[in-house]
Chain A
Amino acid sequence: MIPMAEMVGITKEFPGIKANDNVSFSAYEGEIHALLGENGAGKSTLMSVLTGLYKPDAGSLKIQGKRTDLSSPKDAVNCGIGMVHQHFKLVQPFTVAENIMLSMKNLKQIYNRAEIEKQIVEQSEKFGLTIDPRAKVWQLSVGQQQRLEIVKLLLQGAKILILDEPTAVLTPQEAEALYTTLRRMAKNGRAIIIISHKMTEVMENADRITVLRDGKSIGTVRTQETNENELAKMMVGRDISEVIKKPVQKDGKEILSLREVSVFGINRAPLLKDISLEIHAGEILGVAGVDGNGQRELADVVAGMRVASEGKVMLLGQDCTRSGRKKRIQMGVGYVPEDRMTTGLVTNLNAYENVALKEYRNQPGPFISWKKIIQYSKSLIKKFDVRLASAQNPVKMMSGGNIQKLLLAREISSEPKLIIAVYPMRGLDIGAMNYVKQLLIEQSEKGRAVLLILEDLEDLFSMSDHIAVLHGGEIMGVVDPSETTREKIGLMMAGRREVDIHAS
């Protein structure tokens, strides 16, 4: 059988880094082929070569056995290659049909919209993807938008479909439905390529797995002939330690309590609704939920960057609903925000100046002693093993893991009572991830309260004392990880209340 896409000896170099080093890869008709690797392993670069975005420095590309040179993404589309990016490329105010028309190759100046809409419905139903061609994109859920992206590719005549981290934004149930669809499309004569760093998901759904590490291909294996341990070893290059488990904590003093907190956005649309929860000293409260269901607002309200429209925020028994960020910092709220590059750090300032972001207030008088800040920064950098070429360079030149370490070092060293961490492991490699997990657990053992917002259920289960599930800005339930299952959490993430699940 001739592979639908075959890449041989692909090398792609960027200033200072070999993103792909002699990588070979092939995808056959009818298979789901997963590209597995840590962040920065070269998965996206390899797929950018396949979609014509990058021109490889060396290596060749064959599409259905024919040697092909892709000089632009348009060439790739013409060869039947399509990609669903992690961040969808959709025009929000346009309808589904209008978005699809944008990408149609032979759309005439005068077109028949009804005809196109009919085509969309036909194509999508063939694969069990229901979609209303007249709906506006901004009204669609994330899952529906993803479906639209897939339908778009199908109508372009894509035979090779690449999906970049397709389940990152989906509930477990939605993810399952997606894979059913993908499986059907593969059977229908297409090749599906999934970019992922989630091992369990890949093991359950892919036929073959190619593992990349540091830009090199470590090997391609059949899913049936491998196991998670072997894959992990291929990904990391060494055995990874067993799951990090937090020891159960005894009841400590109440640190944070939210009482029926609501936050309204524009048009009084509720972003958070009647949130009540407590966190005690030494406790990690995990928050689960599909991205965009109020996590960011919850973190901002607790951190003092957003004022609750209704309800009360109590810190150490003190009402601080109205107090701003500065007051909360003084009361001991450490915050590791989701957006570390624009919120948590100032990326064009250097490491010292970023440590000063919190430290500068602790100095007396109107002036800053940079000498003291530099001394303090040096001790942090050493203690937390932050690797940097020069502390004088802007932090944007540091690697993602080290940037996160610097941010955590600053927040943790300010001796907070409560630490809010939003997706603190996002974008880190396994080594750095484990480090961050360990660090947060250590903090709770020292008697600090931790509000931990995560997307990975495995990590939530292993790290949290309790898990609160957010959906549409409301808490669907707070559960003990030892007494619940992933499925139950999944249902709650999709909007079922804990009480309803128990009733049924």
Chain B
Amino acid sequence: MPLKIFGDWRLKKVEQASPLKTVVITLISICLGLLFSALLLLFTGNDPGEIYGDIVFASVGSAYGWSETLVEMTPLALCALGVSVAFRMKLWNIGAEGQFYMGAFGATFCALHFPNLSQWILLPLMFVAALICGGIWGLIPAIPKALWNVNETISTLLLNYIAISWVAYLVFGPWKDPSGNNFPLTAAFSNNASIPSIGGTRISYAIILVAVFAVVLFLLLRHSKWGYEIRVSGSSRKAAEYAGMNYVRNILVVLFISGAISGIAGMTEVSGVLHKLQQSISPGYGYTAIIIALLGRLNPLSIVLVSFLMGGLVVGGYDLQTLGFPSSISSMFQGAILFFVLAGELFCNYRLVRKEVQA
């Protein structure tokens, strides 16, 4: 039944939106989100044009900007790919932040305990440790979800705080660098424990992982039996059980993989960018990842693209901070864009029609 909106305007359901229409609607929504943010900037007495110009210049206006954007993009894209796996099965894992911290913890453990191992052994070891730690952090909420249907949204969220506090405890306590002037940091990683950078930039080779994960996930989700099971399970648990799929096992596997990918993101950050563990290693990558996954409509390839845009926004936000703006400014942009994109989805499924008034 057409939904009455205002006066004689009605919403009418359309069969299915074409891909082109979906893209156009998304782009328009993003523009509206930026326009809305511009209004807020105007109200606070700033010139939106100038600020947007700054952001663009800071993120892609110079070689340094490009490199910073790609540095920010790596953890964002990995975390977003991680949560998107869970979202495919309608498991709302919003614990990427915690899984990221636990991955960083696992990698740092290996880096600090075996600093002299050869790079070819140590880096894979850190990779596996991060994968397992992040994975377990995803698995913990999966068990009560699978057995007693405990809401994973809450449990994954709460586990974030535990992970962040655990890392804080380590860097303030047992892992604090004795020669670090009492700063809450570990000692710098040995060269063997660091992912090398590309050329003279800050970009580490970990960015290759983004491409690898995106392509592998794309192929798995689309062409593997497992990807198909995830899709069916996400649509209807009853249908999955009817088809003889092991729904409970799939919950465990999916949340483990989801957490593992975010954990690997944690490793790339401490080993590829920071070269040490510190109290704050993420400006909320795990949360921004949720926005990215949704904006990318859970498609691994679009997620990489959106991560690049969001990475640019984060870099632009840092730049604005140096000009005296609060750090929350880039969160505001993200929020506004997500809000308009989600609202815009309505127009993918409905069409606004004007109905003639009946006599």
Q: Which residues of A contact B (CB under 8 A)?
A: 14-15, 54, 57, 304-305, 324-329, 335, 337, 339, 342-349, 353, 356-358, 360-361, 363, 366-368, 370, 393-394, 397
Contacts and interface: CB of A to CB of B under 8 A. Distances in A.
B235 interface: yes
Contacts of B225: 360-361, 363, 366-368
A370 B223 contact: yes
B231 interface: yes
Contacts of A349: 231-232, 235
B228 A343 contact: no
A346 B232 contact: yes
How large, as a class, is the contact surface on chain B? 20 to 34
B238 A325 contact: no
A368 B223 CA distance: 5
B244 A324 contact: yes
Interface string B229-246: 001100110110111111
A342 B236 contact: yes
Max chain A Cβ within 10 angstroms of own Cβ: one of B2, B243, B246: B243
Max chain B Cβ within 10 angstroms of own Cβ: one of A57, A339, A367, A370: A367
Contacts of B232: 346, 349, 353, 357
A397 B239 contact: no
B257 to A, nearest CB: 15
Contacts of A363: 225
Contact of A357 (B16, B226, B239, B246): B239
A366 B216 CA distance: 14
18 contacts: A15-B13, A304-B244, A305-B242, A325-B241, A325-B242, A325-B244, A344-B239, A346-B239, A348-B235, A356-B228, A357-B232, A360-B225, A361-B225, A366-B225, A366-B226, A368-B228, A393-B16, A397-B15
A363 B226 CA distance: 13
Interface in B122-137: none
B12 interface: yes
Nearest to A341: B236
B212 interface: no
B331 interface: no
A345 B12 CA distance: 26
B20 interface: no
Contacts of A346: 232, 235-236, 239
Contacts of B246: 326
Nearest to A330: B244
B191 interface: no
B236 A305 contact: no
A114 to B, nearest CB: 43
B224 interface: yes
A13 to B, nearest CB: 10
B352 to A, nearest CB: 14
A360 B358 CA distance: 53
A335 B13 CA distance: 33
Max chain B Cβ within 10 angstroms of own Cβ: one of A305, A346, A356, A397: A346
B82 to A, nearest CB: 21
B5 interface: no
Contacts of B245: 326
B242 A337 contact: yes
A367 B238 contact: no
Contact of A305 (B1, B16, B223, B241): B241
Contact of B244 (A14, A329, A339, A393): A329
Given A325-B243, A360-B225, A361-B244, 13 more contacts: A14-B1, A15-B2, A324-B244, A325-B241, A325-B242, A329-B244, A344-B239, A346-B232, A346-B235, A349-B232, A353-B232, A367-B225, A368-B224
B288 to A, nearest CB: 28
A15 B224 contact: no
A418 to B, nearest CB: 15
B224 A358 contact: no
Contact of A367 (B13, B223, B244): B223
Contacts of A337: 242
Interface in B198-253: 223-226, 228, 231-232, 235-236, 238-239, 241-246
Nearest to B244: A326
